[in-house]
Amino acid sequence: MDAVITEDLTRRFGRFTAVDRVSFRIPEGSVFGFLGPNGSGKTTTIRMLTGILEPSEGSARVLGMDLVSEREKVRESLGYMSQKFSLYDDLTVQENLDFYAGLFSLPPARSRERIAEIVEMAGLLGRTNDLAGNLSGGLRQRLALGCAILHRPRLLFLDEPTSGVDPRSRRRFWDIIYGLAAEGTTVMVTTHFMDEAEHCDTIGFMFESRLIACGTPEELKALLPGTAWEIPSEDPIGLLERLKGTQGVMESSVHGRSVHLLAETESAVVFESLGGRRIVPTLEDVFVHLVMNEREARAE
């Protein structure tokens, strides 16, 4: 079964269309990575799927229920960690958890049991009397996640949960997400970090209010034409310029201290002589390619 099905989901704010006819499906128990630049419509989509915002057009079914007519029932089965973690900084870890347990109307015994599990999962043992405001970024993030899943939602929305968090905490956080998915929770997560998205089961790319591609990481990479190359350089921008007219180069872009190329497979020798190596394209390469295509298509 699919946990989320949207069809032409659309949201306008006045004359501006923030989400434009977006259709996708998320199989139950899978992790869906929702990627795209700032302002592309990710949060607005999630706000519709959580029932906070009404769609202007189109439809969405969540866990087999209709978002509009069965709104209250849907909400009980959802967890939502918003872009601004909704923690109370002047309350302790325990008080935050108690507050959310109350909000979800968990019976006292169940609440105690569940909070103990969450404290363990989040690595908050021995910290339950600390003020939430005094925790490190990584711990705050895991506490916010814990609060969002106290009621064991079947479907979890995480909106940029890892921004502003150090790499080690990010990895730990993803381990928790995979653990939840392995237990059957469906997770929809937005992120700016393309490396995080590599491990998602399915990825949707948003660009200027539209979903421009959707598929497994492998499927998305297969959309790229030619062969992908990486050429390290002290002066990647200069190299990019020089490569522009080179025979066989289809697309090129700067990635840190190197240039990434999509090239016709026959022209390998040239790139080898420049110290380049063939690479498995990253999702970032895919995104650059798709955005270029999309820009051309819209300009026509």
Ligand X SMILES: Nc1ncnc2c1ncn2[C@@H]1O[C@H](COP(=O)(O)OP(=O)(O)O)[C@@H](O)[C@H]1O
| Contacts to Mg ion by CB under 5 A | 42-43
Q: Does 102 bind ligand X (CB under 6 A)?
A: no
Report how far Cα 205 is from the mean position of its chain's Cα atoms: 9
The least distance separating Mg ion from the CB of residue 269, rounded to whole angstroms, comes to 45
Does residue number 42 form part of the binding site for ligand X (CB under 6 A)? yes
Residue 289: contacted member of ligand X, Mg ion, none (CB under 5 to 8 Å, by partner type)? none
| Site residues (CB under 6 A) for ligand X, limited to 7-26 | 13, 18
36 makes contact with ligand X (CB under 6 A)? yes
Least distance CB 39 / Mg ion (angstroms): 8
Q: Tell me the closest approach of the beta carbon of residue 34 to ligand X, in angstroms.
A: 9
User: In whole angstroms, how close is the CB of 157 to ligand X at the nearest point?
Assistant: 12
Which conformational region is residue 4 in: left (phi greater than 0), alpha (psi within -120 to 50 degrees), or beta? beta
- Does 179 help bind ligand X (rule: CB under 6 A)? no
Q: Does 161 bind ligand X (CB under 6 A)?
A: no
* Structure tokens that stand for 210 in this block: 């539209």
> Minimal distance in Å, beta carbon 41 to ligand X?
5
What 8-state DSSP symbol labels residue 37? -
Distance of CA 300 to the CA centre of its chain: 30
Measured from the CB atom, the residue of 49 and 259 that comes closer to ligand X is 49
Using CA atoms, how far residue 200 sits from 139, 214, 269, 281, in Å, is 23, 12, 35, 16
Cβ closer to Mg ion: 16 or 247? 16
Residue 247 binds ligand X, judged by CB under 6 A: no
Please tell me the distance from the alpha carbon of residue 84 to that of residue 160, in angstroms, as a whole number: 9
What's the order of all strands across the beta sheet hosting 258-263? 249-255, 258-263, 227-232, 277-278
Candidate segments 39-47, 101-109, 165-173, 270-278, binder of ligand X by CB under 6 A: 39-47
Q: Residue 79: CB partners within 8 Å, gap ≥ 6? A: 148, 149, 151, 153, 155, 156, 157
Q: By the 8 A CB rule, do 204 and 24 touch?
A: yes
Q: Which residues bind ligand X (CB under 6 A)?
A: 13, 18, 36, 38-44
